[in-house]
Amino acid sequence: MKIIEGFNQAKAALSRQALQGAPAIDEREQTVRQIVNDVRRRGDAAVHEYTEKFDGVKLTSLEVDKAQIDRAYQEVDKELLAALKLAAERITAYHMEQKKALLRDSKNKNLGWLVRPLERVGVYAPGFQAPLPSTVLMTALPAKVAGVKEIILVTPPGKQGSVSPITLAAAAVAGIDRVFSIGGAQAVAALAYGTESVPRVDKVCGPGNIYVTLAKKMVFGDVGIDGLYGPSEVVIIADNTANPAYCAADLLAQAEHGSGASAIMITTWREMAEKVNREIENQLQNLSRRSIVAEGLEKKGFIAIVDTIEQAIDLANDYAPEHLCLVVANASSYIDKVKNAGCLFIGENSLEALVDYVAGPSHVLPTEGTARFGSGLNILDFVKLINVVNMDKKDIRQLGGATSIIALAEGLDAHAQAVAKRIENMSKGGS
């Protein structure tokens, strides 16, 4: 990996524009808009056609039969099934703690709120080069804990025209209600607007490729979305106490995501940068996806050298990475300085790979700087708050005058009149 020295040079290298360049998506936007409008208009017929065109599969049914899901659950490798169950237990437990802390109806009798789960949610699990059962768990289980009544999974069909048994087993473990063998923009449109087979949902969640992301952006407003996700990214902040082999392994794991993933390290010690680079060269040789990893490190990977940990954290806060790892002495003492990150990892044993699969928090996290204002997928994505107002005559007497003054200042005399009628009635002894 290339080495960059100095705070200013590192800041320039961490510029989102420098890393990403100008996105040429106009043509893709037009394609996605056509797909979305076509599915909205023609329903199942359009979904079938686009599935055959883009996935090379002619489906007889969009929905996966429940017997096929049950069979996959029974036949999947037992060790894998046990691992999926462990992951599900931990993801559920983590989000149950969130629910206890965050989701409570107000007890104020006059002004408050009600917490209500969404009725039906669609979750998207990408196919990429391999099935991603972890994403099934990471999207569906927070929804289930939040109380969503029906969870719909869409995922692209494989080359044989069927969903991977591993994905189906994960769907069974997560308690997903229905599974559809469709992907891409057509799947997002089907969830957003409904078709003869696919029910319309209240919200579409989960990561996907650029076509999925653009489709989510286009349907937002007609349906809710959790966020718009780009390539995965990590920033590792390391000092001279860090283990170079661990840092290298974590950078390689990040680059393994491919598709423009960013693997970045910021250190206060030049010798650490050199040691990590040597470790990367050695460890890379044993990876099955080494060509993809090497390309990722070459395009969007680097090591920056700065003077202090505080400078490194300032750079990370500006960059707002999806994953931020503090691999420094007394790492916990720096927590309060971190302002922007999708997920914060404290110390060398808090490795990203654990969170990707079994630690507990969802691995669906804000990317491309959206950690400045966004959060990782969590139970708040699957509920809504309904404001509750229960006021009496005393409140009208106390607040009516100010209400009328503001209403008249805005030229809304009917608002002022609605208050005046009540005050007038009360002055006459009316109810």
CA distance 392 to 410: 25
> Collapsing DSSP states into helix, strand and coil, what is residue 266?
strand
Structure tokens at 149: 């009544």
Structure tokens at 77: 């490798």
Exposure class string for 213-246: b at 16+ Cβ within 10 A, else e: bbbbebbeeebbbbbbbbbbbbbbbbbeebebeb
Residue with tokens 């007889």: 60
Sign of CA dihedral 134, 135, 140, 145: positive
From 95, 257, 323, 363, the catalytic residue: 323
In this structure, which amino acid lies at residue 58? K
CA distance 200 to 177: 14
Sign of CA dihedral 379, 130, 255, 236: positive
From 233, 279, 322, 348, the catalytic residue: 322
In this structure, which amino acid lies at residue 52? E
Residue with tokens 């700087």: 369
Q: Can 322 be counted among the known catalytic residues?
A: yes
Give the residue among 209, 208, 125 at the shortest CA–CA distance from 168.
125
> Which residues have a catalytic role annotated?
322-323
